[in-house]
Each structure stands twice: as structure tokens, then as C-alpha cells.
């Protein structure tokens, strides 16, 4: 990958560095971000060479910590625990980045009014290999070019006019990889139940899903067009599709999956605001 972040300016603080924030950080480092410009506040985060690591915000401040970019990467429920301590570090043109599910731009602006900009980012775990999707919306005077430069190494960037649909996007693309992994797992398990060896079933399932999505992305066609190229009237594919399409059950199931994830995001927002 290109070293697109070798000239990225500013010091960055990650408050929380779990799976998602850690995947983003590792990708940024691979893109040339200077580790000496990064600090992590997270007592459980894995150490990374050249990056200062702190167990708490108080410890970071005692070490003379300051930042131009602060990313919130902890659990949304923890926002109240860190907001007061962090708010005093927002003066002086700090960009606040947040990957917290359910926490709106309005919530961030209320908690951190002195930030130069509040930027809400919804990435997904495929950012780890540069194949993720990051939806982004902002308030304030955001340096959009700098924000985009941070997100491009993670994969596709989708800029939204506002964050009104972010709870759905969280479910759709943020939670989406887990749903896809479950589908692949279940597909492999079905093959195993019908007689395939477990390892063969999983290998075939991964290759089938991966190749199909790659073909769809490369072709520029609608899914239905490619379905028609595989299925023939009265054939084996159509027999399986008839089961998938029966009574709209698949569409209803996926709608319910997304609705449950979206609604949980809203509940988390209430908890973060102290209303849950």
C-alpha cells in the first residue's frame, strides 16, 4: 500500500483501542503515520512500538499529553466516564473523531463544544486489510481533506450530508461483516450436514462468497442480472432460489436483523446520554 500518511500533520490520541480502533490504527501505521505522534489511553490495549501508552486520561495528562486529533474508540456506554476529563483537552482547534455507535454529532457537540469539529465515522472491521467501508459526517470546521486522507487507507469512504441515517449505517455496514460471517458459517454448516467434510465445507463457502462478491463488484451489474446468468429454469440453482425466496422470508429475516441492530444503536445512544 502507498505511504499516504507519511506527511500527516498533528498529534493523535486514541481514547480506547479495541478491535475496531486498533484495526484503524494498524492500517494508519502501515500507511506511514508516525507512531511517535500517537498516544493511546486504554489499560487493556496491546502495546505498539513507538506509541505512548497510558492507562488513564489523568496519566496521559500528567505525561504532558496534548493532541490535535482525538478519536473516541471505547464503548459508547463509557462516554460519560471520560467526557468531563476529556472536554478540557478540546480547546485549540482539536478535531474530535468518534466511532461510537449510537452517539450522534449533536451529542458530541454538546459534550465537547470547544472542539474545532466533531466528526462521526462508522468504519467496519475490513478496514484491517484496507477493504472496509467508512461512512462519515461532521459538524464544525472540519479539515475534510485531512479526514479523507485518514479514511482512504481503510477502504471505501462514503460522505453523508448529516448523521440522521447513521444508526442504520451502523447496523448495515458496521455490524454487517459479522452478519456475513454468520451466513458463511451457516452455509458451511449446511454443507457439512449434507455430507461435506467440515474443513472442505468452510473452504468452499469462503471461496464461493468471496468470489461472488468480487465478481459483483467488478462487473458493475445488479445482483439480479448475475443471478440470471447462474440460474436456469428448472435447474438446480432455481430449486435452491425457490426456497430462499419462499414467502419473502429471507428479506423479512434480514430486515429484522438490521432493525434489531439499528434499534440497539439507539438504545446505546440513550445510555450514553444518561437516559437509559
Q: Is 118 helix (H, G, I), strand (E, B) or coil?
A: strand
pLDDT in tens, 100-112: 988 999 999 999 9
148 and 190, same domain (yes or no): no
Which pTM was predicted?
A: 0.84
Radius of gyration of the chain (CA): 21
190 and 113, same domain (yes or no): no
Nearest of 127, 85, 122, 82 to residue 103 by alpha carbon? 122
pLDDT in tens, 186-219: 999 999 999 999 999 999 999 999 999 999 999 9
pLDDT recorded at residue 10:
92
Quick one: 48 exposed, middle or buried, by C-beta within 10 A (0-12, 13-18, 19+)?
middle
Spatial distance between the Cα atoms of 83 and 59, rounded to a whole number of angstroms: 16
Residue ranges, the chain, pLDDT below 70: 275-276
- Residue 132 structural domain: 12-165
pLDDT recorded at residue 218:
94
pLDDT recorded at residue 276:
59
pLDDT recorded at residue 105:
94
Whether residue 67 contacts residue 94, with contact meaning beta carbons closer than 8 Å, is answered with yes
Provide the domain count of the chain.
2
CATH number at residue 238: 1.10.3730.10
| C-alpha angle 10-37-69 in degrees, rounded to nearest 5 | 45
Amino acid at each position: 500500500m502507498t505511504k499516504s500518511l507519511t506527511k500527516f500533520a498533528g498529534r493523535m490520541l486514541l481514547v480506547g483501542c479495541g478491535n475496531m480502533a486498533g484495526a484503524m490504527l494498524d492500517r494508519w501505521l502501515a500507511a506511514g503515520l508516525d507512531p511517535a505522534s500517537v498516544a493511546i489511553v486504554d489499560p487493556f490495549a496491546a502495546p505498539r512500538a513507538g506509541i505512548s501508552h497510558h492507562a488513564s486520561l489523568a496519566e496521559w495528562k500528567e505525561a504532558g499529553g496534548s493532541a490535535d486529533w482525538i478519536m473516541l474508540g471505547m464503548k459508547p456506554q463509557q462516554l460519560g466516564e471520560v467526557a468531563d476529563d476529556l472536554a478540557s483537552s478540546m480547546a485549540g482547534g482539536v478535531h474530535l473523531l468518534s466511532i461510537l455507535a449510537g452517539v450522534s454529532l449533536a451529542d458530541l457537540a454538546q459534550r465537547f463544544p470547544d472542539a474545532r469539529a466533531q466528526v462521526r465515522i462508522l468504519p467496519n472491521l475490513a478496514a484491517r486489510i484496507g477493504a472496509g467501508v467508512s461512512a462519515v459526517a461532521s459538524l464544525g470546521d472540519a479539515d475534510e481533506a485531512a479526514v479523507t486522507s485518514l479514511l482512504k487507507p481503510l477502504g471505501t469512504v462514503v460522505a453523508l450530508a448529516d448523521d440522521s441515517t447513521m444508526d442504520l449505517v451502523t447496523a448495515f455496514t458496521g455490524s454487517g461483516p459479522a452478519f456475513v460471517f454468520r451466513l458463511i458459517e451457516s452455509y458451511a454448516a449446511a454443507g457439512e450436514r449434507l455430507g461435506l467434510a467440515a474443513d472442505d465445507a468452510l473452504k468452499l463457502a469462503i471461496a464461493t462468497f468471496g468470489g461472488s462478491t468480487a465478481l459483483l463488484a467488478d462487473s458493475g451489474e445488479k445482483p439480479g442480472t448475475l443471478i440470471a446468468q447462474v440460474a436456469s429454469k428448472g435447474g438446480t440453482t432455481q430449486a435452491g432460489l425457490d426456497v430462499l425466496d419462499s414467502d419473502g422470508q429471507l428479506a423479512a429475516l434480514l430486515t429484522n436483523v438490521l432493525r434489531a441492530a439499528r434499534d440497539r444503536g439507539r438504545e446505546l445512544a440513550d445510555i450514553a446520554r444518561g437516559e437509559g
